[in-house]
Structure 1
């Protein structure tokens, strides 16, 4: 089991702290490891192999001139979800690096945005080093505001 998944499970199952505070502590620590993610203040809600979800809160620091969540803040949230998913999904004998992102903005991001990243288990165990991670951002009312694919390059560890 990956260190990230172990940390998530411990943080969200501590009886004294509780799952809610544990999720916040994990999210804060994750953002410290990759400091640029701090700009969107990700709040992880779900993390398991092949699936990750986090919330990017709508706040002034991530808004554009229209008062909606900025497109790059959305991409930052999607990449954070993808990174956590990759860490908990990849086999121990492999490593990953992002190699591209293709997204479409489909609606205004007028609320907090839930960023979702998903893969299929077989993608990590095959011989193809190109692993597409499906990503989407969803408004509070269920409307998808951004969707696309982040492509990873997955190779054996040396």
Structure 2
């Protein structure tokens, strides 16, 4: 079933190829070059939900050997952006407005990040997108709320 949303359509198209999710993840990460630094892997994308993964590797670790806070925030922002692009109605646009995060445990493994919104959330005004990062044992290591401002696209 082909999607009318450009990002979901690209995600579905990539699934037809070997390593399609990896290819899609790399393509989406190019939207903002700093996303590439975490080498994200988007394993699931649908309206109002995104799941991505960050491998614990030297390039994203801090001085104590855990995944660095900024790498975690980068993952939160990418997951939120994927949810926004995959979910927002065509007549609306969005821009990040703020981000609040709490680091709740050591990020000492690969990280799974999930972003989600309610189906009926996409209307003009502020929208808080909940994003949570989990380590391999299921413990939440970071919880964030990213506020985006949604407005009508200008008439052309």
Q: Kindly provide the CA deviation profile for residues 42-100 of structure 1, in whole angstroms up to 9, marking residues without a partner as x.
A: 10001000000100111000000010000010000010000000000000000000000
* Cross-structure match for 2:6: 3
Residue ranges of structure 1 left out of the alignment (5+ in a row): none
Q: Distance in 1 between matches of 2:31 and 2:134?
A: 25
How much has 1:133 moved relative to structure 2?
0.2
Q: Secondary structure in 1 aligned to 2:12?
A: helix
Q: Which has the higher helix share?
A: 1
1:93 paired residue number:
91
CA RMSD of aligned residues (A): 0.8
Q: How does 1:6-155 map to 2 (within 5 A)?
A: 6-12=9-15, 14=16, 17-18=17-18, 21-125=19-123, 127=124, 129-155=125-151
Runs of 4+ in 1 over 3 A off after TM superposition: none
Q: TM-score, normalised by structure 1?
A: 0.93
